[in-house]
Amino acid sequence: MIGTLVNNDNELRQIVPNTLKICKERDLLWVLSHALKIKNTPMWTGYNSLTTTNHGSKQKIFYLTPINMSPTNTTVIYETMVQAQKIANECNQNFMSVAYDLAIAKVALQIQTTEQPKFDNLFINLGAFHIMMAYFKTIGKFIDECGITYIMVESELLASGSVNGFITGKHFNRCKRLYPVIALGLQILHFELFLEKECIDVPEDILLELEALLTKSTNYNLDLTENENLKKLINLYSKFQEDSLSGLHGKTAQYYMNFIQLVDFYLLLSKSIRVGDFKLFCYILPKMTNLFFIFNQPNYARWMVKYHDNILKLDETHPDFKIDFESGSFGIKRTSKSFSRQPIDLTLEQTINADASKRLTGVIHFTNSISARQRWAKSHSLRSTIISHVLENIGLKSRQDISNELEKSKIEKASSAVQKFVVIIKNYINPFDQTIDPNVLFNILTGKGASTETTNFLLNVQIKGNELWKNLFQIDSSRFEKPIEKQKILNFSQENIKKKISTTVGKVQEIRMQRNLFGRMLGISLEKQIDVLET
């Protein structure tokens, strides 16, 4: 079905974008600004909107007539592909891009193959929003029960009832907000270790340079700055990060640096879309795909390989369309703000899906008539444009020209949350504390060391994921649609499984560590009037 896949050793897979170094340096500057307590430093999105200038053209959103059937129905998917071709013809375009979530995209790719060459002028995108949600689930499996979520609850970053939704990646907004926060807190601890170990006193001119960055509002390039001290500090710290990733500062430090790197992969994907950097987008997709293989997400592992392969072959299959991608058309920019482009499928959720479900004005709340819903879809974009124009002209609605994260109250709240997280994690086990045994991977909540098997698994997930990719598809691409063998995940969650016991009635029960064990014991003692001290 899929033909020959581009080999992992092919030069197309080895291309590193020129912007990668700049992106990483800018994120390091953000970390340094928080670690050195530069006043009014916003969170990641706000910081990048200040230090990145992106003047891509704004796009308009229009709603197509809805189809009254399940979106995963094969006939519905076929009809959407036909409609996409009609739109391409009306716009005098040779090619058309369509974005689907995975459940629909894999059917569309199969239709495209079986119906060749009828739909060859369509390029089928996997929705980046759904890719991010699936990726959050892999990060959740990586950190499950390692102690981070308990510290997040204690520092009031996360409610205890929301832990499961956070770990499984079901709450997108919560995950995209909190993962950068906890990664930042850990990087601050790591930077403190760097200053202590290298005996560095940060000079005043670096602080002034970091403060000035927040007001320059331009594409900052470290190579062009005249501040040699800042360049030297960034280079030294980058080398120190590499040493930690390689395990020179202990296995616990290595594990948490791996976690930080996994969060960085998400941030790079988000940044590639927000600034319309297609080469960076192509570079980061395989890094994330490796994790889908090792953490048992076979559908995303399989179809991400195919999607990335299609992207690499754009010069052959859709040459005109590659130019559009390189201009940023794989994301949607609805505002004049810099760093504001969003994934296509996320835009769908924020526009027609959100408008249709509004309690007061949403069409799904006031009619079940299919024809009425179709009329609503055809006219809603025009009506909303007129209403917005009127509200702006009479002064009831103002255009927001800054990111939400740049509001002073939100900057203060976020900075306070990060510092509280850092303080509380020090009350347990600082993963970058050099007094702990460097040969053991510790649970930072309980202080228990992980087994050798678990340690080896967690510290090598990226390498093992890449090996699975090569072994499954590069050696024999004909096995593309065959089942992918399930991997045994060895993480802290598995470490917490104690043993199995037999009860008096012969049933076997598995004893696990309970999240609120002592709280439940106290509740039972109060209910049954039992003195805990005597028992």
- Tens of pLDDT, residue by residue, the chain (535 residues): 555 677 766 777 778 898 899 899 999 999 999 999 999 999 999 998 888 877 677 888 877 877 878 888 999 999 999 999 999 899 888 888 899 999 999 999 989 988 888 998 899 999 999 999 999 999 999 999 999 999 999 999 999 899 999 999 999 999 999 999 999 999 999 999 999 999 999 999 999 989 988 876 567 777 767 788 999 999 999 999 999 999 999 999 999 999 999 999 999 999 999 998 999 999 999 999 999 999 999 999 989 988 998 898 888 888 877 788 888 788 888 887 888 888 988 888 877 666 666 666 666 656 677 777 777 777 776 777 777 677 777 876 655 545 678 888 999 999 999 999 999 999 999 999 989 999 999 999 988 999 999 999 999 999 999 888 887 766 555 667 778 888 999 999 887 665 555 555 555 555 454 445 566 666 677 767 777 666 5
Say whether both 150 and 209 belong to one domain: yes
**Residue located via tokens 């835009």:** 347
Say whether both 155 and 90 belong to one domain: yes
- First-to-last CA distance in the chain? 66
Say whether both 278 and 362 belong to one domain: yes
**Is position 70 within any domain?**
yes
- The pLDDT score that the predictor gives to residue 511 is 46
Chain centre distance of CA 326: 21
- The pLDDT score that the predictor gives to residue 513 is 46
**Is position 393 within any domain?**
yes
**Is position 487 within any domain?**
no
Nearest-angstrom CA–CA distance, 60 and 339 = 17
Say whether both 69 and 172 belong to one domain: yes
**Is position 179 within any domain?**
yes
**Dihedral sign for Cα atoms in the order 351, 96, 310, 284:** negative
* Phi, psi torsion values for 264, nearest 5 degrees: -60, -35
Say whether both 111 and 220 belong to one domain: yes
CA distances to 22, 74, 88, 305 from 81, in Å: 38, 11, 11, 22
Say whether both 241 and 330 belong to one domain: yes
Say whether both 297 and 413 belong to one domain: yes
Say whether both 29 and 105 belong to one domain: yes
Number of domains in the chain: 2
What is the DSSP code string of 95-162?
-EEEEE-HHHHHHHHHHHHHTTTTTTTEEEEEPHHHHHHHHHHHHHHHHTTSSHHHHHHHTTSS-GGG
State the residue range of the domain holding 240.
20-474
HSE-CB for 21 with a 13 A CA cutoff = 8
Say whether both 204 and 272 belong to one domain: yes
Cβ 134 vs Cβ 103: under 8 Å:
no
**Is position 482 within any domain?**
no
**Is position 6 within any domain?**
no
- The pLDDT score that the predictor gives to residue 288 is 94
pTM: 0.87
**Is position 461 within any domain?**
yes
Q: Six-digit token pair at 219?
A: 């594409």
Say whether both 440 and 302 belong to one domain: yes
Nearest-angstrom CA–CA distance, 270 and 132 = 9
Cβ 142 vs Cβ 439: under 8 Å:
no
Reported as type and span, the H/E element at residue 498 is strand 497-502
Say whether both 36 and 123 belong to one domain: yes
- The pLDDT score that the predictor gives to residue 436 is 92
Say whether both 338 and 391 belong to one domain: yes
**Is position 534 within any domain?**
no
HSE-CB for 361 with a 13 A CA cutoff = 9
